[in-house]
Amino acid sequence: MSLRNQSVRRFLISATAALVLVCAGLHTAWANSPHDGKKHNPKHQLEVLEEQWRVAQLAGDMATMERMLSDDYLGISMTGEVDTKAQQLHRVADRRLTLTKIELSDMKVKLVGTAAIVTSRAQVEGTNDGRPVTGIFRYTRVYRHLPTGQWKITSFEATPENASDGQNDGATAEKRASRDSGAE
């Protein structure tokens, strides 16, 4: 092998080794990137969607709520009312349901195939059909992952926390008012 061929060969081996090291470094940096990992993490995506829904409810943002709810949505409100997507959006548009405070805690996300179940604790203030709603609720929201990559809310249910001990105004206000007036 000539001296020139040996020099070219050494150059190619060195260049290949350098390229491999650069690619390995870029791959490690990409894989360890906190933003990229979270962006594609379904649990993180759902936590972000829960925040988007919370903000939309507080703002009465019909466009966001319309986009997030699946067409076959069914929800059970904190008062036990069952609503379709159209009914839920109508209640918000007509200001029959107005929430002024929603503080979330204890959120858990469970993935089951193409569905996700989100549970959380929510401290809520607002009005429902003209009556004050104040209290702490546990809720379950179910999302479905579509082939398009979007998550859509397909079901919701809220339950008052400690309703039996009279600590939750939203769930028991009507019963207490009725009891206190002697109507029961």
Cβ atoms of 169 and 160 closer than 8 Å = no
Query: What's the Cα-to-Cα distance from 1 to each of 5, 15, 89, 121, 159, rounded to whole Å?
Result: 6, 20, 79, 75, 82
Q: Where are the domains of the chain?
A: 3-32, 41-180
pLDDT at position 31: 43
19, pLDDT greater than 80: no
Sheet holding 115-128, edge to edge: 82-84, 69-76, 151-160, 131-145, 115-128, 97-112
Pick 139 or 38 by higher pLDDT. 139
* The pLDDT of residue 27: 43
Q: Contact at 8 Å (CB) between 53 and 68?
A: yes
Q: Which two tokens stand for residue 110?
A: 């469970």
Q: CATH fold of 41-180, please? A: Nuclear Transport Factor 2; Chain: A, (3.10.450)
Higher pLDDT, 8 or 132: 132
Mean pLDDT of the chain: 80
- Range in 35-44, 99-108, 121-130, 171-180 with the lowest mean pLDDT: 171-180
- For residue range 62-96, list pLDDT tens digits in order: 999 999 999 999 999 888 999 999 999 999 999 99
Task: For the chain, give the percent of residues with pLDDT over 70.
Answer: 67
Q: Where are the alpha helices (DSSP H) in 69-126?
A: 85-93
CB neighbour list of residue 174: distance below 8 Å, 6 or more residues apart? 131
CA 172 to chain CA mean position, Å: 27
**Can you tell me whether residue 173 is helix, strand or coil?**
helix
